[in-house]
């Protein structure tokens, strides 16, 4: 079993995100230097960019931005819970890794679970 989950302060996240935003080094180099996964650095950078308008929003703007953020978090949680119960594996990820194709799928049929596509209920 892995060790305890690491927790980072807001200041540390901001420092790493700003470093990534400056683009003096690659995300991979920044992640290596701070012993993080590159996806974590990219996530913090994206969160920084998405949160910047809040900094300049006035009183009413801040309230709307906070409400929007809460709503986004709520929706993200709902989507994650609903998706986890569907057992959906995006085909484009596995196909792209084998074929060298990194574009979007040609249709949405690849996101439909096999039992739903066949119209037959899944047997346990």
CB-based contacts of 40, cutoff 8 Å, min separation 6: 31
Domain span at residue 109? Answer: 87-119
CB-based contacts of 27, cutoff 8 Å, min separation 6: 20, 38, 41, 42, 45
Q: What is the structure's pLDDT at 71?
A: 79
List average pLDDT for each run of 10 residues in the chain, which is 124 residues long: 84 94 94 96 94 76 72 74 61 53 53 57 58
For residue 109, being part of any structural domain is answered with yes
For residue 108, being part of any structural domain is answered with yes
Query: How many folded domains does the chain comprise?
Result: 1
Q: What is the DSSP string of 5-30?
A: PP---HHHHHHHHHHHHHTSS-HHHH
Q: What is the structure's pLDDT at 43?
A: 96
For residue 14, being part of any structural domain is answered with no
- Tell me, yes or no, if the pTM score tops 0.85: no
For residue 74, being part of any structural domain is answered with no
For residue 58, being part of any structural domain is answered with no
For residue 114, being part of any structural domain is answered with yes
CA 78 from chain center: how many Å?
14
Look up residue 112 and give its DSSP letter. Answer: S
Please state, in angstroms and rounded to a whole number, the distance separating the CA atoms of residues 17 and 72.
21
For residue 95, being part of any structural domain is answered with yes
Q: What is the structure's pLDDT at 111?
A: 56
For residue 112, being part of any structural domain is answered with yes
């Amino acid at each position: 079993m892995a060790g305890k989950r690491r927790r980072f302060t807001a200041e540390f996240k901001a420092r790493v995100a700003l470093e990534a935003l400056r683009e003096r080094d690659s995300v991979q180099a920044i992640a290596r230097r701070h012993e993080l996964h590159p996806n974590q650095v990219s996530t913090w950078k994206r969160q920084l960019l998405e949160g910047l308008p809040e900094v300049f929003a006035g009183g009413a703007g801040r309230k709307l931005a906070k409400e929007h953020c809460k709503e986004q978090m709520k929706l993200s949680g709902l989507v994650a819970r609903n998706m986890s119960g569907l057992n959906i594996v995006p085909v484009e990820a596995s196909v792209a890794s084998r074929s060298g194709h990194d574009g979007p799928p040609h249709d949405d049929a690849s996101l439909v679970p096999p039992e739903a596509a066949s119209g037959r209920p899944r047997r346990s």
